[in-house]
Amino acid sequence: MCRLIRKNIDITELRKTMGVWTTGVAVVTTRDSDDKPVGMTINSLVSISLTPALIGWCIDRGAASFDVFARCRVFSLSILSGDQFELAQRFATRGANKFEGIADAEGGGDVLIPGACAWVRCRLYRLVPLGDHLMLIGEVMDFANEGRLPLVFSRGAFVAPVNIEHAA
Ligand SMILES: Cc1cc2nc3c(=O)[nH]c(=O)nc-3n(C[C@H](O)[C@H](O)[C@H](O)COP(=O)(O)O)c2cc1C
């Protein structure tokens, strides 16, 4: 029988254990009140509902961009492709020049990452405070899917995607 760890939750061990839950990687972007682009790498993205079309993700209250995202009315997701791990690292680095070379950042509209495998634009539907994170639930306004293989994050590392077999 497996040995379950109970009580006095060891956060490091919990992160390690939940890190087995393998995900894609997205960059979420919005603009602050001065129209400056703001963005971060996330893997807490979850598809919630089809009717209405709702997706959600969670932001750490300690993130530098927390206040901007907590007040945003719209946000955009770029689901990164298998070759975009450098962008994933850049957008996970506080203080980095995150938008260097990203054309959309220059204008005033939504910032989508070129070369991503899919994009989803949302308007904020609901904010749900959850412990040390805040969940942002977005209603999907539009989306696109390029059919590229996505970047994968598993057990704390970026993993090269492989196609084994198509499910449904
Ligand atoms: C693969 C990966 C997934 C991440 N997922 C999340 C997430 O879902 N929510 C979150 O708040 N931070 C997440 N982070 C951490 C943020 O990207 C990181 O803290 C970033 O510096 C936050 O940006 P900011 O501090 O400039 O706002 C993730 C980092 C990596 C590498």
The per-residue pLDDT for range 17-36, each reduced to its tens digit, is 999 999 999 999 999 999 99
Average pLDDT, the chain: 94
Q: Which of 21, 43, 66 to mutate to test the pocket of ligand 1 (most atoms within 8 A of CB)?
A: 43
Residue burial 121-139, b: 16+ Cβ < 10 Å; e: rest: bbebbeeeeeeebbbbbbe
Residue 24: enclosing H or E segment and its boundaries?
strand 23-24
3 found inside a domain = no
**pLDDT per residue as tens digits for the range 90-137:** 999 999 999 999 988 888 899 999 999 999 999 999 999 999 999 999
pTM across the whole model: 0.94
Q: Which atom of ligand 1 is nearest to the CA of 25?
A: 1
The CATH number of the domain holding residue 60 is 2.30.110.10
Question: What pLDDT is attached to residue 5?
Answer: 63
131 found inside a domain = yes
5 found inside a domain = no
Tell me if 135 CB under 6 Å of ligand 1: no
Rounded-to-integer distance, Cα 140 and Cα 33, Å: 22
Question: What separation in Å is there between the alpha carbon of 75 and the centre of ligand 1?
Answer: 15
161 found inside a domain = no
User: What domain count does the chain have?
Assistant: 1
**pLDDT per residue as tens digits for the range 52-81:** 999 999 999 999 999 999 999 999 999 999
